[in-house]
Amino acid sequence: MKVGDKAPLFEGITDTGEKFSLADYIGKHNIVLYFYPKDDTPGCTREACAFRDNWNLLQGYDVVIIGISSDDVESHKKFKQKYNLPFILVSDPDKKIRELYDAKGFILPARITFVIDKKGIIRHIYNSQLNPENHVKEALKALEMLKKEEESIS
């Protein structure tokens, strides 16, 4: 996957046990899709809480946040409740979504964030295992760029 590619569509199950389809959001919202290794581990918790702590700011960009790991629905549910996460977590136990986005990693599953515009085009990719909190900062920069582009068109 690279910037400019069309975001692959996928379906999964959310932390509430409901079916999720990325296609339902394309054309309606910007999307931040972030892959992380494991629920309730130090780096993944810092990353999720950074998205949570910037929730109000993120909402100014008409964005849907989706976190994806291979954890099961029950693990996602506990993780979301424990840290009061206001966004969707999708379970990818067979790692098929990860493969679609080439977000496999080496020793650990990759920590990688994709910013997808309303047309379904990948506009920014940030890949860093070592700086979990920077994922939200990078997403915000990309969303600000998208907002400026939208404003210049209208």
Answer whether residue 44 is part of any domain.
yes
Answer whether residue 16 is part of any domain.
yes
**Total-model pTM:** 0.94
* Catalytic choice (44, 90, 97, 116): 44
Confirm whether 49 is a catalytic residue: no
Q: What CATH number does the domain containing 38 carry?
A: 3.40.30.10
For 142, the domain range is 11-153
Answer whether residue 3 is part of any domain.
no
Answer whether residue 4 is part of any domain.
no
Range 4-10, long-range pairs (CB < 8 A, 24+ positions): 4/121, 4/122, 5/121, 5/122, 6/120, 6/121, 6/122, 7/31, 7/33, 7/114, 7/116, 7/120, 7/121, 7/122, 8/100, 8/101, 10/96, 10/97, 10/100
Answer whether residue 6 is part of any domain.
no
Digit-by-digit pLDDT tens for the chain (154 residues) are 899 999 999 999 999 999 999 999 999 999 999 999 999 998 899 999 999 999 999 999 999 999 999 999 999 999 999 999 999 999 999 999 999 998 887 667 789 999 999 999 999 999 988 888 999 999 999 999 999 988 887 6
**Domain count across the chain:** 1
Answer whether residue 2 is part of any domain.
no
